[in-house]
Amino acid sequence: MDFSDETLVAAYLRGTNEGAFAELVSRHLGGVYSFALRLVGGQEAAEDIAQETFVKAWRYLKKFDPARASFKTWLMRIARNTCVDHLRKRTAVPLSYFDTTEGGNSVTESLADESLLADELLSRTDDAEEVTRALGQLSHAQREVLVLRYEQGLTFDEIGSVLNTPANTVKSRHRRALHQLRGLLRIQPI
């Protein structure tokens, strides 16, 4: 039997289903990791953020209120805040620090993005690398909205809850992000 996230939370908190939290982690780990990877750009950091997100979720599970948001929305807000904290702590190191004596750069020459992209974006272009580069050129706020909408499948209201932003602002960012992404990819609107 497939229980809703909220039912699993309630069962775990009542102590009637010890495996309920593990089921929640299993359901949402991929989405949290993918979201973190898109925002921070590194696999190791995304793994750490995903782990920290679930630790925080477990720690504050008693504060989850299904009347205010779905479990997924609540969890993605924790993930977003954890990403923001990570980005604030990150110290900037100039890429020139990694220049080799041969004139190359050991970091830029070894960069690879192995993450999956949203089906909707992939259907618009044949070149996934071009989409990844274009997403990287968007502002952090625009990228957040697109990732939450297309990779996580959240509604505008849910995204607003995650970002603590009015839904109309989210819709405006979404519209501007799609417009800018179309321009970067040279795609004509439908």
pLDDT value, residue 114: 37
Q: Answer with the one of 47, 75, 91 that is the final residue of a domain.
A: 91
Residues 12 and 86 in one domain: yes
On whether both 130 and 165 belong to a single domain, the answer is yes
- Is 100 among the domain residues? no
pLDDT in tens, 168-183: 999 999 999 988 888 8
Total structural domains within the chain: 2
pLDDT at residue 21, as a whole number? 92
User: For residue range 18-69, what is the model confidence (pLDDT) as tens digits?
Assistant: 899 999 999 999 999 999 998 888 899 999 999 999 999 999 999 999 999 9
Structural domain boundaries, residue 84: 1-91
90-141 tens-digit pLDDT: 755 555 545 555 555 444 444 443 333 444 444 444 566 777 788 888 888 8
- 80 and 149 together in one domain: no
Is residue 63 in some structural domain?
A: yes
Contact 126, 117 (CB under 8 A): no
Find all residues with CB under 8 Å of 183, minimum gap 6, and list them: none
pLDDT digits 0-9 by tens, 10-25: 999 998 888 999 999 9
Q: Is the pLDDT of residue 7 over 70?
A: yes
Residue 125 lies in a domain: yes
**C-alpha span between 159 and 147 (Å, rounded):** 10
Residue 172 belongs to a domain with what CATH number? 1.10.10.10
Do 44 and 83 belong together in one domain? yes
* pLDDT value, residue 186: 77
Mean pLDDT within 149-165 = 90
Distances (CA, A) of 186 to 120, 128, 146, 151: 16, 14, 18, 22
Residue 105: inside a domain: no
pTM of the model: 0.64
In a domain? residue 107 = no
Residue 106: inside a domain: no
Please provide the distance, in angstroms rounded to a whole number, between the alpha carbons at the two ends of the chain: 41
Looking at the domain assignment, is residue 42 inside a domain? Answer: yes
Look up the CATH number of the domain holding residue 51: 1.10.1740.10
Tokens 């830029």 locate to 108
